[in-house]
Amino acid sequence: MMKMIEMMTITMMMKMIEMMTITMMMKMIEMKTITMMMKMIEMMTITMIMKMIGMMTITMIMKMIGMMTITMIMKMIGMITITMIMKMIGMMTITMIMKMIGMTTITMMMKMIGVMTITMIMKMIGMMTITMIMKMIGMMTITMIMKMIGMMTITMMMKTIEMMTITMMMKTIVIYTITMMMKTIEMVTSQ
């Protein structure tokens, strides 16, 4: 009887301990593996998605918004306003001012108006959209892409646009002003 009871108790105990240890081990392993897996998967998926979405969306948005808006706005605002103002103010006022004051005012005005408006518009449009997109999509990817794409394109575009617009405007104004001054001088001298 004693032996029987002993055997039974020992087996029971063994089973209990086994069960406990196994369950404990299982839980430990499970927890560890799951957490590890989760971390791995999370890290992987997030980075992958970030890369995929980030790269795609930013480049796409940059191309779509950036290229479109800057070029479009530059064309729409820049071209229209500059031409319009040049025609309205320029043709009328420049001739008048040129006759009265001379070169200095135009250069001053050009510097004040031209530089101010371009920088202002650039700041208003550029800064706003970039910051907005930055916030929406994410700092990391944008900074990276900005460094690669953004910096290049913006600097390039800025240089090209600035150079083009300024040179063009300067040339047109300078030529115009010189011709006007020449005419005025001629008029004065002839009188």
DSSP string, the chain: -HHHHHHHHHHHHHHHHHHHHHHHHHHHHHHHHHHHHHHHHHHHHHHHHIIIIIHHHHHHHIIIIIIHHHHHHIIIIIIHHHHHHIIIIIIIIIHHHHHHT-HHHHHHHHIIIIIHHHHHHIIIIIIHHHHHHHHHH-HHHHHHHIIIIIHHHHHHHHHHHHHHHHHHHHHHHHHHHHHHHHHHHHHHHH-
Write phi, then psi, for 54 (nearest 5 degrees).
-50, -60
Cα separation, 154 vs 123, in Å, equals 12
Each residue's pLDDT tens digit, 87-143 = 555 455 555 555 555 455 555 555 555 555 555 555 655 555 555 655 655 555 555
Q: Where are the domains of the chain?
A: 2-190
Each residue's pLDDT tens digit, 47-61 = 666 665 555 555 565
pTM: 0.18
Cα separation, 69 vs 73, in Å, equals 5
Rounded to the nearest integer, the mean pLDDT of the chain is 61
Each residue's pLDDT tens digit, 29-49 = 666 666 666 666 666 666 666
Q: Is the pLDDT confidence value at 175 over 70?
A: no
